[in-house]
Amino acid sequence: MVAEASARAKGNGHGNVILGRYELGKLLGHGTFAKVYHARNVHTGESVAIKVIDKERVLKSGLVGHIKREIAILRRVRHPFIVQLFEVMATKAKIYFVMEYVRGGELFSKVAKGRLKEDTARRYFQQLISAVGFCHARGVFHRDLKPENLLLDDKGDLKVSDFGLSAVSDQLRQDGLFHTFCGTPAYVAPELLSKKGYDGAKVDIWSCGVILFVLMAGYLPFYDQNMMAMYRKIYNGEFRCPRWFSSDLTKLISRLLDTNPSTRITISEIMENRWFKKGFRHVRFYVENDQVHSLDNIDDDSSPPPQPQDDASDSGCESDSSVASCPATVSSFSERRKLGLPRPASLNAFDIISFSSGFDLSGLFEERGEQTRFLSGEPIPNIISKFEEIAKGVSFNVRKKDCKVSLEGTREGEKGPLTIAAEIFELTPSLWVVEVKKKAGDRGEYEEFCNKELKPGLRHLVYGSHT
């Protein structure tokens, strides 16, 4: 298959390099409509996995919408414990998903050798729940969670993969439920068998319960060679925990595998469970240029984390973000340069013209949808301190680097928490342009925050406001 792929690529004049960017390697796996290859970025040498989808087969099967939805979902759920989608490319015949290459293989392979130690199983389950809870907060429901779809990276961390059967809240019917039967038989929730509609979050939680049982027991809670007999056991909740399960674990499993979805445990309740909480740490991260970066080691590092650079970047945290240091006493660029700190980027003539029509630099806020700019003559540390003060007043987290500030809300939504980035540009040696952008979250929430918090809080910093 690799030779076949190489031959096709050579036909396009690129040897075995796809679109001049990725060199195809060995075949990792395949399905009905796609093949997955190991590949190498020819510019950086980075290993990636590339999912190659046959356009003609997708069109004939009427799955164009399905592919588009999968792309949208993968872009929405960027998280340390979810396989990342880096980019999507296409030719006339193929679609290429360029994804994170996870070296450790499937969790299933680990379990196939026997049951795991309790602390190991707990750690994987904690990471799974962190990822699943993140998805649910963004209106994404996996619907096919199983050990075969859970990969392990070279650090031993879990990565949820294969969102091909996932659904989003936009697909709910008028009754607020999903109705498509999907999933792997041994992991499906009993409500799917009744064919009356189901809650996507509750179905995922049931699957997580089956996974936890398998990790700890080494076998499935519901199994029979006869498919109908297995479904009957699932529907009736007929299973028994082995004697080596602790009482706390047995209680948690019984809540996870509750056949009544309305009383089944929720994600928030799982996170408060005594067995689950042992050694649990909320994952902390941010997203820059479509890549997930951990904040776990920031507190021990003197260098601040990179700041997201483009509008496509979202920022997300499950708990407090890291607060990196920014000099509060340096007020002149000459002093800044002595300390080796970078100078803020200067605006060019086109930026100045676009900043205010007619060269009217009167200090008024200039709005552009999800972006606001204003002029200020205040020292840079004063401007940054004011952003911090505003963030503290509304319980937002703050990240800083040089002349950039990121304010990050903690309230989850389908588009993630509201995240606002501010950057200070030099216009003259004593006059700055402050640019404020929405990086993630709901636009209505952003506009409300600007009108109620940002503008009133920053107004005294605006150039000319004192005259």
> What's the CA dihedral at 104, 107, 110, 114 to 10 degrees?
170
60 known ligand binder: yes
Over the stretch 190-237, which tens digit does the pLDDT of each residue have?
A: 999 887 889 999 999 999 999 999 999 999 999 988 999 999 999 999
The three-point CA angle 361-363-367 to 5° equals 95
SS3 of residue 217 by DSSP? helix
Q: Does domain 286-461 have CATH number 3.30.310.80?
A: yes
What's the CA gap between 213 and 203, in Å, rounded? 16
Neighbours of 231 (CB within 10 A): 18
- Let me know: does 267 contact 208? Beta carbons within 8 Å: no
pLDDT attached to residue 309: 35
Q: Over the stretch 247-284, which tens digit does the pLDDT of each residue have?
A: 999 999 999 999 999 999 999 999 999 999 999 988 87
Give the span between the Cα atoms of 400 and 422, in whole angstroms.
Answer: 10
**Contact (CB, 8 A) for 190 and 259:** yes
54 is catalytic: no
Start-to-end CA distance of the chain, whole Å, equals 73
φ, ψ of residue 380 to 5 degrees: the values are -55, -45
Residue 356 in contact with residue 366, Cβ under 8 Å?
Answer: yes
Fold topology of 107-277: Transferase(Phosphotransferase); domain 1 (1.10.510)
* CATH entry 3.30.200.20 includes domain 2-100: yes
Instruction: Give the single-character DSSP code of 164.
Output: T
Angle between the 200-217 and 118-137 helix axes, to the nearest 10 degrees? 170
State which H helix or E strand residue 58 sits in: helix 55-60
Tell whether pTM > 0.75. Answer: no
Cα Rg of the chain, angstroms: 26
What is the Cα–Cα distance from 25 to 49, expressed in whole angstroms? 9
Q: How far apart are CA 353 and CA 299, in angstroms?
A: 41
Q: Per the residue annotation, which of 144, 162, 199, 314 is the catalytic one?
A: 144
Please list the ranges in the chain whose pLDDT falls under 70. 1-15, 172, 174-176, 286-291, 293-370, 412-416, 464-467
DSSP single-letter state for residue 347: P
Chain centroid offset of residue 104 CA: 20
Say what the pLDDT of residue 352 is: 56
Please tell me the predicted confidence (pLDDT) of residue 341.
40
Structural domain boundaries in the chain: 2-100, 107-277, 286-461
pLDDT at 53: 92
pLDDT of residue 232: 94
**3-class DSSP assignment, residue 121:** helix
402 by DSSP, 3-state: which?
Answer: coil
